[in-house]
Amino acid sequence: MEIKPEYRDKTIRSFVVRAGRMTKAQRSAFESGWESYGLRLADGTIDMEAIFGRDTTRVVEIGFGMGASLLEMAEAQPETDFIGIEVHPPGVGSLINAVQEKQISNLRGFLADATDVLNECFPDASLDRVHIYFPDPWHKKKHNKRRIIQPKFLQLIGAKLRLGGVVHMATDWETYAEQMLELISDAPAFENMTHDYMARPDFRPLTKFERRGERLGHGVWDLMAKEYYNLVWI
């Protein structure tokens, strides 16, 4: 099978498509597990109740990297269904490989652009939580426009969340954290669940990068906001 991310043409993208060499295990996971655990942008709107065989809490993680944290959350919360979105094939391959080995039934993944997936694959008011952990900070000022957290993106997330749904963001880049806080404070459909930032909630796993950062004295900023009205319904 051809292994490459799905995305629509855009003037500005929040990611760069990298070649990224895959291991034998990652490539094998696509061949053996994609039909069972992979989801396609090209297939359009998905029916999560049909995919998972139940109607329960639904969580989407955007940009899951190699998938370790997403996998840990899915294992710890078997009563919740998770869908991950990632553009880099090695990460998706690693996730599928682990899901197959551990026989986890409440997790699926897209190899695609998150904006396109949200726009085309999830019905409005269908999600309970959206996680965006450690997105690319695009730290050079001229590249800030490529950051995924933008007003229109938050508006899109708001449309896909159920009333009372939550968006949870985390970053280790202070200027990005400040931008996130400003944008979520200005977003009409969201209410920050604290005055500013919050401690890492127990359900978000501590990554190896965070542990290393803590030893070096680096900060991490978590921000969680609840949708208190849905613009789709107004």
From residue 42, how far is each of 79, 96, 116, 148, 201 by CA, in Å? 28, 19, 10, 22, 35
Whole-angstrom distance, CA of residue 141 vs CA of residue 105: 42
Catalytic residue among 136, 172, 202, 222: 136
**Quick one: 189 exposed, middle or buried, by C-beta within 10 A (0-12, 13-18, 19+)?**
buried
Half-sphere exposure of 95 (CA within 13 A, CB side): 37
DSSP 23: P
Element (H, E) at 59: strand 58-62
Whole-angstrom distance, CA of residue 201 vs CA of residue 187: 23
Number of other CB atoms surrounding residue 19 within 10 Å:
8
Instruction: Please indicate whether residue 47 is annotated as part of the active site.
Output: no
Whole-angstrom distance, CA of residue 153 vs CA of residue 141: 19
Question: Would you name the residues annotated as active-site residues?
Answer: 136
